[in-house]
Structures are given as structure tokens and as C-alpha cells.
Amino acid sequence: MNQHTHTPNDPKNADTDAMTAAMMATTEDADQATLDRLMRHTRNVSAKPAKRGLHWGWMALPMAVAGAAAAVALTTSPSGPGLENTGVPVAVVEPSGEALETEIASVLDERADTSGAEDLGPFESIASFDPAAQEGDWVSPGFETDDSEELEDWIEAYELVLAEG
């Protein structure tokens, strides 16, 4: 057995058993009203045809634009297959940039709720993507940052927008 795998009741696993117990003791369970709201949301959303306009691919990160700090952030915070070495998730638009624009607006709205519209930071660059982008076009970060968390958020935003890899 691999030394890192878990054997219940093994004294060597006291810490991981204790941590499991601590997590289970601090779990937040939804009340019935919350579950009902989530179910209503599910029914409302799925009553409409799904929006289907985007998929995602991979590209080489334009390091010259993103800067050395970005390179550090990407190599230390891999976010998907291939990212460690070559790239970040990007939009591959089909058939036009319109759906992407809609999704971007949604992300910006969410950010405005929590960050303040005047302080969207790198997310402003998302809004500046060419709405006439065609299928297969690359989308680059287009901003400089020394804040790895901001960069990671940009990447996360793309994962959220473009979803399943």
C-alpha cells in the first residue's frame, strides 16, 4: 500500500482522521427552505433552452504582455492540463463574439457586486476583447500584474465562463 493512502484506525493516520472529524463537525447543512430554493432555481433555469455558444482550448501565454510575475504565478498555480508549461485557458469563439460578450458582461456584473464597478482591475481587460472574434481566435490576458491572485482570478473567470474543458 502506498504510504500516503489512508487506512482507517491506523495510529499513523491520527491527524488525518482528526482533520476529517473536524471538517465533518463544521459542515454547513442547508435547511429545507434553502434546498427548496435551489430546486426552484434548477427548474427555472432548465425550463429554458441552454445557452450554448462557447468552448475552450489552450494557448501559449503571451508572456511579454503578462510579464514575469505572471509567469511565476502560472508555474506555481497550475489551473489545468498543460498550463504548467505552456498556457492558460482561452476563449475559442463560435460562431461570433456575441455569446462571449454576454458571458463577460455577466462576470463583470458579478465582480461589480463585490468589488465595486470602479475597481474591476484586470477584469476590465476581459470587456475589451474583440467582440468580432471568430472561431479559433486567441484571447490573451492583455494586462500586466504583479499580483498572482489577480491573475489567477482572471484564469478562474475564464474557467467559469468557458466551463468544462
Partner 1 sequence: MTRQAESPDAALVARAKAGDGEAFAALVRPLLPSLYRVASRLAGRSGAEDAAQEALTLAWERIHKLRPETPFAAFVFGFAIKKAATNARGERRRKAREDKVAGEEPTRPDRPDEVAAARNLQRAICQALDTLPKKRRDAVVMRIDGGLTDSEIAKALGSSEGSIRVLVHLGLQTLAEQLKSQGFHLPTRGGDA
Binding site for partner 1 (CB under 8 A): 2, 4-6, 9, 13-30, 34-35, 37-39, 41-43, 45-52, 55, 77-79, 81, 110-111, 114-116, 119, 149, 153, 156-157, 159-160, 163-164
- Residue closer to partner 1 by CB (options 38, 132) is 38
**At closest approach, how far in Å is the CB of 12 from partner 1?**
10
CB 92 within 8 A of CB 135: yes
CA gap 6, 139 in Å, rounded: 42
CA gap 165, 156 in Å, rounded: 13
- Residue closer to partner 1 by CB (options 76, 134) is 76
Q: Beta strands of the chain (E only): which ranges?
A: 54-60, 87-93
**At closest approach, how far in Å is the CB of 59 from partner 1?**
19
- Residue closer to partner 1 by CB (options 30, 71) is 30
Place of cell 508555474: 75
- Assign 54 to helix, strand or coil: strand
- Residue closer to partner 1 by CB (options 36, 132) is 36
**At closest approach, how far in Å is the CB of 13 from partner 1?**
8
CB 56 within 8 A of CB 90: yes
Place of cell 494586462: 143
**At closest approach, how far in Å is the CB of 64 from partner 1?**
26
**What angle do helix axes 98-115 and 148-162 make, rounded to 10 degrees?**
130
**At closest approach, how far in Å is the CB of 52 from partner 1?**
6
- Residue closer to partner 1 by CB (options 84, 132) is 84
